Chain A
Amino acid sequence: MKTKKPFQFLVLIVALVMTLAACGSSTTDTTAASGSSDTTAAPGSTDTTADSGSTDTTSGGDMASQVEVFSWWTGGGEAAGLDEMIKVFAAEDPDIEFINSAVAGGAGTNARAVLASRLQANDPPDSWQGHAGQELIGTYVAADQIEPLNFLYDEEGWLDVMPETLIPLISKDGNIYSVPVNIHRANVLWANPTVLADAGVEMPTTLAEFFTALDALQASGMEAPLAMGEQWTSMHLFETIMLASMGPDGWDGLWDGSVAWDSAEVTQGLEDFAKILDYTNADSSALAWQDAGQLVLDGTAAFNVMGDWQEGFFREVGAVPGTDYVWAATPGTEGNFQFLSDSFVLAKNAPNRDAAIAWLTVAGSNAGQDAFNPVKGSIPARSDADRSLYGEYLLSAMDDWASHRVVGSLTHGVVANDSWKSEIDTAVGLFLLDRDVASFQSALVAAQAASG
């Protein structure tokens, strides 16, 4: 009987250490800046926000001297980029205290759940991050939680420096609702040039060429020439194939209601998607997007379709552009820039409205965007950025951004609201299991009816 005591003690200690570790990590994650832990931990108490703010500013300031900005940028290039932008903000508006209420985890899922409960409790942060487009509009405009920003676009002349085709995608009924700080491109095909050369395959530019290239690679003994990752990356592949198959007008039409989901065009797109899945790896559900990219670098696969954050990963692991990897628009989407963007909004009834507008002004300014984007590995939404700050891939993306037709991404919240997107996600997930085009299409029709 005596022997068991030390072990029980050990279990207790381990449990205690684990608890402490859990507490420690969660606090460091949520408190990217002073005073933010209080505000995120206690949604629903407006007093906490004000108190923690005023105790921090020892110089003593009134309510207008602070701005609370909510995001899920707590790590990596995103958090570093945000810090750079906060520095610019501190230089421009030194008397406004910046309260960074970032919530970690789940690629924003946790943060949005916290934000939802704060908005339901009528305790909005002054400004928050969201994917530009319908994800913001469908959720927060529909719930009457954010203000139109047309006045700011007019004052700052942003309409002249941002692509004309971008504006309708971030507006509703003529009202612009957010300030995009960065732009990512979704329709990029990444390839391993050595593998292509060995198999005698050119970089494909149309869907037909893509299928020919994939067939040739399979014939040369490569089982799965197109690397794909977990479920959301299949939806990412889905959106680029649909864009290629339907063209930009057809794609836009799906979201504005002018093209029906049960039309023959859609059927064709779904069949193309079904066909492309035959070239993907069987263990995709176990891979993150980085793992899928790694397969291309390793030469296990020839291609990967992923947004241009894949380039950030490639550079991080020391791969050389042009030698270890090459890129092009996803076959059939040349001339189109399928974009996604992180953007900031102005809360309706923002506690510190003027300070929030000052923050948005910095977020949309050249200084703010050029501080954020080189660190994050994305391009600015403005076309008049300082080109010397960006690398080879980003420069090519900047040229395309300025000249291509801009269309929206589905997976990353531009074209459909969250409800619609999550229904499509379910439909894609079911399709990966049964590969039945007819039931996929009827699920997509139902998805629009349930949430469109």
Chain B
Amino acid sequence: MTAEAPETKSVSGRREIFRMEHWWGVVWVLPSILAVMLFVYGFIGWTARVSVSAWKGLLPDYTFVGADNFTALASDPRFHIDIKNTAIFTVVFILGCLAIGLGLAILLDKGVRAEGFYRSLFLFPMAISFIVTGVVWRWLMNPAQGDRLSGLNLLFDAVGLDFLINKWYATPTWGIAAVALPAVWQMSGYTMALYLAGLRAVPESLREAARVDGASELQLYRRVIMPLLWPVTLSAVIILGHISLKIFDLIIALAGKQVALDVPATYMWTTTFDGFFFGRGAAIGMVLLVSVAVLVVPYLWFTLRQDRA
């Protein structure tokens, strides 16, 4: 529903027609505007209210406690782990997706045979839900050692790459980086699609001009193409970044409920629905909202301004 409004705007070539049908358009999108007002902004407001309340237990308690829930989070050791985990996850996830996505896109752009096949192949993991990915990778990354090796560790053992055998997501402190791997696997195809579109938009004449000037292939990519792909990279970082901040289903499917691999979204869920700390849960929700907004709002503002110009 939320996607409808920007869509109508982006079809800029038909502005004239839209002016004529302007009022009808408003009527048609009115239900979805109302629904968004209520179900998105209304509930954001309600969550904000709960986050400054003392609500603990089954029934609502709207006693105002100021920023107490937020200051408690600031000194909550579990929330510190959440932030550390989110930071590691985000870095591994975004860098992994960008590197693999760009690599695949360049290879495809070089004119591989059956390009459509490979494109679909790499994009395919995106069609799978994070839950399925999590369950499968939970098996693949089985951390058991010794004679109980299985999954990827067993594969490493079989092909003689024993030094690669590791404890994956059971590794102390860095386990969350292993959890980011399935996310990279799932989303790098999408990043590839973004980059591929970007590469296709680079005019052939620019490449040829660079080659005529004596640039090597490496220089061509570094000096000419990469700078042109900067907006694509920015979009990819924004999209991947907000996925990473909100990650929940993958963690639940892969790690279950354990503090070592906890992230803010899982803490929010368990503390609210297992522990009935609604005030604290709402506070975590607000922190998540603000951190995503810090990432997304400047981008939206920037693109909207560019559109208008």
A interface residues, Cβ below 8 angstroms from B: 1, 3-4, 7-8, 10-11, 14-15, 18, 109, 112-113, 116, 119-120, 139-140, 142-143, 145, 223, 230-232, 282-283, 285-286, 300, 418-419, 421-423, 425-426, 429-430, 432-433, 439, 443, 451
Question: CA of A119 to CA of B143 in the docked complex: distance in angstroms?
Answer: 42
Known: A113-B273, A231-B257. 6 other contacts (CB 8 A): A11-B120, A283-B144, A285-B169, A286-B142, A300-B148, A451-B275
Contact indicator B277/A419 (Cβ below 8 Å): yes
How far, in Å, is B275 (CB) from chain A's closest CB?
3
Contact indicator B274/A432 (Cβ below 8 Å): no
Q: Which secondary structure dominates chain B's binding surface?
A: helix
Let me know if B117 is at the binding interface, CB within 8 A: yes
- From B58, B117, B169, B274, give the contact of A143 (CB < 8 A): B58
Contact indicator A11/B127 (Cβ below 8 Å): yes
Contact indicator A232/B276 (Cβ below 8 Å): no
Contact indicator A283/B273 (Cβ below 8 Å): no
Contact indicator A285/B57 (Cβ below 8 Å): no
Knowing A230-B258, A231-B258, A232-B257 are in contact, say whether A282-B116 is a contact too (CB < 8 A): no
Contact indicator A432/B260 (Cβ below 8 Å): yes
Contact indicator B275/A423 (Cβ below 8 Å): yes
Contact indicator B274/A109 (Cβ below 8 Å): yes
* 0 or 1 for each of B42-83: is its CB under 8 Å from A? (1 = yes): 000000000000001111100000000000000001100100
Contact indicator A422/B170 (Cβ below 8 Å): no
Residue of B146, B167, B273 with highest tally of chain A CB at under 10 A: B273
Q: Across the interface, which residues of A come within 8 angstroms of B192, CB to CB?
A: none
Q: Across the interface, which residues of A come within 8 angstroms of B77, CB to CB?
A: 430, 439, 443
Question: CA of A422 to CA of B56 in the docked complex: distance in angstroms?
Answer: 12
Residue of B58, B145, B167, B271 with highest tally of chain A CB at under 10 A: B58
Q: List the 6 closest A-B pairs by CB distance, nearest first.
A: A429-B259, A422-B275, A3-B116, A7-B120, A143-B58, A4-B116
Contact indicator B258/A429 (Cβ below 8 Å): yes
Q: Across the interface, which residues of A come within 8 angstroms of B144, CB to CB?
A: 283, 286
Knowing A4-B120, A283-B143, A451-B56 are in contact, say whether A426-B259 is a contact too (CB < 8 A): yes
- From B59, B114, B129, B169, give the contact of A286 (CB < 8 A): B169
Contact indicator A285/B170 (Cβ below 8 Å): yes
Among B93-112, those with CB < 8 Å from A are none
Q: Across the interface, which residues of A come within 8 angstroms of B167, CB to CB?
A: 282-283
- From B146, B259, B276, give the contact of A139 (CB < 8 A): B276
How far, in Å, is A230 (CB) from chain B's closest CB?
5
* 0 or 1 for each of B255-267: is its CB under 8 Å from A? (1 = yes): 1111111100000
- From B127, B142, B148, give the contact of A14 (CB < 8 A): B127
Contact indicator A145/B258 (Cβ below 8 Å): no
Question: CA of A223 to CA of B147 in the docked complex: distance in angstroms?
Answer: 12
Question: CA of A44 to CA of B12 in the docked complex: distance in angstroms?
Answer: 44
Question: CA of A1 to CA of B59 in the docked complex: distance in angstroms?
Answer: 58
Contact indicator B260/A3 (Cβ below 8 Å): no
Contact indicator A429/B271 (Cβ below 8 Å): no
Contact indicator A419/B275 (Cβ below 8 Å): yes
Let me know if B119 is at the binding interface, CB within 8 A: yes
Q: Across the interface, which residues of A come within 8 angstroms of B262, CB to CB?
A: 429
Q: Across the interface, which residues of B come within 8 angstroms of A421, CB to CB?
A: 274-275
Among B124-167, those with CB < 8 Å from A are 124, 127, 129, 138, 142-148, 167
Question: CA of A231 to CA of B256 in the docked complex: distance in angstroms?
Answer: 9
Contact indicator A140/B58 (Cβ below 8 Å): yes
Contact indicator B259/A432 (Cβ below 8 Å): yes
Contact indicator A3/B259 (Cβ below 8 Å): no
Determine the residue in chain A with the shortest Cβ distance to B142: A286
Q: Across the interface, which residues of A come within 8 angstroms of B146, CB to CB?
A: 223
How far, in Å, is A9 (CB) from chain B's closest CB?
10
Question: CA of A315 to CA of B114 in the docked complex: distance in angstroms?
Answer: 53
Let me know if B172 is at the binding interface, CB within 8 A: yes
Q: Across the interface, which residues of B come within 8 angstroms of A139, CB to CB?
A: 57-58, 276
Q: Across the interface, which residues of A come within 8 angstroms of B172, CB to CB?
A: 433
Let me know if B303 is at the binding interface, CB within 8 A: no
Contact indicator B57/A419 (Cβ below 8 Å): yes
Let me know if B270 is at the binding interface, CB within 8 A: yes
Knowing A116-B58, A116-B273, A143-B57 are in contact, say whether A231-B138 is a contact too (CB < 8 A): no
Contact indicator A143/B170 (Cβ below 8 Å): no
Knowing A7-B117, A223-B146 are in contact, say whether A430-B78 is a contact too (CB < 8 A): yes
Q: Across the interface, which residues of A come within 8 angstroms of B129, CB to CB?
A: 18
Among B171-224, those with CB < 8 Å from A are 172
Q: Across the interface, which residues of B come within 8 angstroms of A430, CB to CB?
A: 77-78, 81, 259
How far, in Å, is A367 (CB) from chain B's closest CB?
33
Question: CA of A145 to CA of B277 in the docked complex: distance in angstroms?
Answer: 18
Q: Across the interface, which residues of B come within 8 angstroms of A231, CB to CB?
A: 256-259
Knowing A142-B58, A422-B270 are in contact, say whether A3-B145 is a contact too (CB < 8 A): no
How far, in Å, is A445 (CB) from chain B's closest CB?
14
Determine the residue in chain B with the shortest Cβ distance to A112: B273
How far, in Å, is A452 (CB) from chain B's closest CB?
12
Give 29 A-B contacts (CB < 8 Å), ordered by A residue: A3-B116, A4-B116, A7-B120, A18-B129, A116-B58, A120-B60, A140-B58, A143-B57, A143-B59, A282-B167, A283-B143, A283-B167, A283-B170, A285-B256, A286-B169, A286-B170, A300-B148, A419-B56, A419-B277, A422-B270, A425-B270, A429-B258, A429-B259, A429-B260, A430-B77, A430-B78, A430-B259, A439-B77, A451-B56
Question: CA of A359 to CA of B115 in the docked complex: distance in angstroms?
Answer: 64
Q: Across the interface, which residues of A come within 8 angstroms of B255, CB to CB?
A: 285
How far, in Å, is A118 (CB) from chain B's closest CB?
11
Contact indicator A120/B120 (Cβ below 8 Å): no
